[in-house]
Amino acid sequence: MPSTKGFKITYATLAAPAEEVHLAFETAANELQGALGQTHPIWIGGEPSLSEEVFEDRSPTDRRLVVGRFQRASASQAEAAIGAAHRAFGEWSRVPWQERLAILRTAAENISSHRFELAALMSLEVGKSRFEALADAEEAADLLRYYCQQMEDAAGFDRPMGQLAPNEKTRDILRPYGVWVVISPFNFPVALAAGMAAGALVAGNTVVLKPASEAPASAFKLYEIMVEAGLPAGVLNYLSGSGSEVGRTLVQDSRVSGLVFTGSKEVGMEIFRRFNHDRPRPCYLELGGKNPAIVTAKADLEKAAEGVARSAFGFGGQKCSACSRVYVDRSVATAFKELLRERAVALAIGDPLRRESFLGPVINEAAVRKFERCVAEARRDGEILFGGDVLGGEEYEHGFFVTPAAVTGLPEDHWLVRQELFLPFLYLGEVDSLERAIEFSNRSEYGLTAGIFSEDLQEVETFFDSIESGVTYANRRSGATTGAWPGVNPFCGWKSSGSTGKGVCGPYYVSQFLREQSRTLME
């Protein structure tokens, strides 16, 4: 493998990576071809386990490619995984936090050293471009490092408190809860599974990880890499299977102390209600978005077009942070639309394993059908500015490829303007003022990310102060609304986008996996 030491790709990387990075990715992708189609177990208490049913994980780039065969875990296997995590909790929670951190920091190093393998696997499994996939793997490693650092900076969350009497001493300690269920989505199959699991593990909890059925292979590889770092048996358990089947058991089991979920609002809310039906338990939801970007009359339009195109169409709009609405000042709308169109039609669409591809396939057949419906309704009720085709022909016929679309002329209450679509589909609205743009931006049940393009700092300040989103950016060419990084851009969903009020990637994340105990001793 060529040397790539010291090189790091993030979602905000704009420069072309060095040749060695391409070669390392291509070497990993070639090696992966030889390992496709294998059958993988689930892991319970450090032991492999097989189910009665197996499902195939196929690539969205080419449905003929079977990435792997995975177990459809049964309810009794889910119960067994919870049991294993429950048994492992006592010992793991008593491991001094410094030792836990040493293991998890080794896991972070292992993820970094396997980043090309993980990235190639994600490209194949969910259709990420190589840069997006490398950033996903890098983010996973940095999430682990950042969460370890949080524990260290807080000295294990153990601090002296005040006194009411001279002979009284009180300490305040944050202690782990027990077993956490981690349910992850398909779109950041390594970073999000790693990040949520790491938050729980760093704090001394044990974990049952249930990844999305569209991405069991990436999470499986992650599991192997993390366990190799020295996690004791049962501390991390891996369950592939259907969310609506095995997920139900995980959510209902009373031995589970907490649940952390990233995914759609619909599924998240259903889990939330069921999880707390008979007693309160922490249940953290990171949900969808309908993220706006604002382009004012004082914007650098080149920068704005680049930032919006990257955020709206990168990874086919399949990011919770994807830009899906843009409000442009009417005076610059024509020029902006033209710049955006130029960029969008120039995007290279194709097999994401190939170096020139910016945009791979959307995740599945259902996503293509939904895209067709969105385009048809936009054509009927508004105007298509560009894109909106489903691609066929030699290179595309076995996968799910579409051309990124932008539409305009829809009423603000149209479902295409309100609902999260999770597709390369951008709505563009024209406005007469920044105030109107902010008003429309905030007229959404979601509040995840938002961006503005304006060279006027007063306008930028007005935006920061009035926008109802947890993650905000101004003048970001590398992504109008996307590209958050651990320790740099805390990622907190407001309104229907999340329940925590303290985001992933932010300084308060780990403490949410701990509960407080004050210890008062009279001497």
Q: Is residue 187 at the binding interface for ligand NDP, with CB under 6 A as the rule?
A: yes
In whole angstroms, what is the distance from residue 447 CA to residue 469 CA? 4
Smallest Cα–Cα separation from 470: which of 502, 422, 517?
502
Q: Yes or no: say if 214 and 364 are a contact pair by the CB < 8 Å rule.
A: yes
Q: Is residue 303 at the binding interface for ligand NDP, with CB under 6 A as the rule?
A: no
**Contacting residue, 20, 62, 224, 270, with ligand NDP by CB under 6 A:** 270
Q: Is residue 404 at the binding interface for ligand NDP, with CB under 6 A as the rule?
A: no
Of 286, 306, 420, 430, which one is the catalytic site residue?
286
**Contacting residue, 25, 157, 188, 453, with ligand NDP by CB under 6 A:** 188
Of residues 78 and 326, the one with the C-beta less far from ligand NDP:
78
Q: Is residue 186 at the binding interface for ligand NDP, with CB under 6 A as the rule?
A: yes
Q: Which two tokens stand for residue 81?
A: 């995984």
In whole angstroms, what is the distance from residue 157 CA to residue 290 CA? 36
For residue 122, the Cα-to-chain-centroid distance in whole angstroms is 13
Q: Yes or no: say if 258 and 85 are a contact pair by the CB < 8 Å rule.
A: no
Q: Is residue 450 at the binding interface for ligand NDP, with CB under 6 A as the rule?
A: no
Of residues 9 and 271, the one with the C-beta less far from ligand NDP:
271
Q: Is residue 381 at the binding interface for ligand NDP, with CB under 6 A as the rule?
A: no
**Contacting residue, 134, 287, 367, 437, with ligand NDP by CB under 6 A:** 287
Could you give the C-alpha distances from 410 to 379, 383, 425, 430, in angstroms and in order?
10, 8, 13, 11
**HSE of 301, CA atoms in CB hemisphere, 13 A:** 17
Q: Yes or no: say if 123 and 353 are a contact pair by the CB < 8 Å rule.
A: yes
Q: Which of residues 501-520 bind ligand NDP (CB under 6 A)?
A: 504
Residue 432 beta carbon to ligand NDP: minimum distance, rounded to whole angstroms: 31
**Contacting residue, 234, 292, 404, 493, with ligand NDP by CB under 6 A:** 493
Residue 275 beta carbon to ligand NDP: minimum distance, rounded to whole angstroms: 9
Q: Is residue 210 at the binding interface for ligand NDP, with CB under 6 A as the rule?
A: yes
Of residues 9 and 287, the one with the C-beta less far from ligand NDP:
287
Q: Which two tokens stand for residue 274?
A: 């069921």
In whole angstroms, what is the distance from residue 503 CA to residue 513 CA? 12
Of residues 284 and 463, the one with the C-beta less far from ligand NDP:
284
Of residues 304 and 363, the one with the C-beta less far from ligand NDP:
363
Q: Yes or no: say if 209 and 241 are a contact pair by the CB < 8 Å rule.
A: no
- Specify burial of residue 154 (Cβ count, 10 A radius: 0-12, 13-18, 19+): middle
**Contacting residue, 57, 420, 430, 459, with ligand NDP by CB under 6 A:** 420
Element (H, E) at 452: strand 449-453
Q: Is residue 185 at the binding interface for ligand NDP, with CB under 6 A as the rule?
A: yes
Of residues 71 and 497, the one with the C-beta less far from ligand NDP:
497
From the list 57-65, 100-108, 266-274, 432-440, the region that binds ligand NDP by CB under 6 A is 266-274
Residue 148 beta carbon to ligand NDP: minimum distance, rounded to whole angstroms: 21
**Contacting residue, 60, 282, 498, 506, with ligand NDP by CB under 6 A:** 498
Total residues at the site for ligand NDP (CB under 6 A)?
37
Q: Is residue 251 at the binding interface for ligand NDP, with CB under 6 A as the rule?
A: yes
**Contacting residue, 13, 242, 472, 499, with ligand NDP by CB under 6 A:** 242
Of residues 149 and 242, the one with the C-beta less far from ligand NDP:
242
In whole angstroms, what is the distance from residue 485 CA to residue 150 CA? 15
Q: Yes or no: say if 283 and 259 are a contact pair by the CB < 8 Å rule.
A: yes
Cα angle 363-136-217, degrees, rounded to a multiple of 5: 55
Residue with tokens 């950041």: 188
In whole angstroms, what is the distance from residue 55 CA to residue 514 CA? 36
Of residues 244 and 331, the one with the C-beta less far from ligand NDP:
244
Q: Which two tokens stand for residue 455?
A: 């060279």
**Contacting residue, 106, 149, 213, 511, with ligand NDP by CB under 6 A:** 213
Q: Is residue 375 at the binding interface for ligand NDP, with CB under 6 A as the rule?
A: no
Neighbours of 230 (CB within 10 A): 14
From the list 26-34, 126-134, 286-294, 404-412, the region that binds ligand NDP by CB under 6 A is 286-294
Q: Is residue 361 at the binding interface for ligand NDP, with CB under 6 A as the rule?
A: no
Of 283, 320, 323, 492, which one is the catalytic site residue?
320
In whole angstroms, what is the distance from residue 388 CA to residue 382 CA? 13
In whole angstroms, what is the distance from residue 142 CA to residue 152 CA? 15
**Contacting residue, 17, 178, 199, 247, with ligand NDP by CB under 6 A:** 247
Q: Is residue 263 at the binding interface for ligand NDP, with CB under 6 A as the rule?
A: yes
Residue 241 beta carbon to ligand NDP: minimum distance, rounded to whole angstroms: 7
User: Which residues does 311 contact at the CB level (< 8 Å), separation at least 6?
Assistant: 291, 293, 319, 321, 322, 323, 451, 479, 480, 481, 482, 483
Q: Yes or no: say if 426 and 407 are a contact pair by the CB < 8 Å rule.
A: yes
Is 320 among the catalytic positions?
yes
Residue 431 beta carbon to ligand NDP: minimum distance, rounded to whole angstroms: 25
Helices 191-202 and 216-228 pack at an angle, to 10 degrees, of: 40
Give SS3 for 69. strand
Residue 288 beta carbon to ligand NDP: minimum distance, rounded to whole angstroms: 3
Of residues 83 and 263, the one with the C-beta less far from ligand NDP:
263
Is 286 among the catalytic positions?
yes
Footprint on this chain of ligand NDP (rule: CB under 6 A):
183-188, 192, 210-214, 242-244, 247-248, 251, 262-264, 267, 270-271, 286-289, 320, 420, 422, 448, 491, 493, 497-498, 504
Instruction: Write out the catalytic residue numbers.
Output: 286, 320
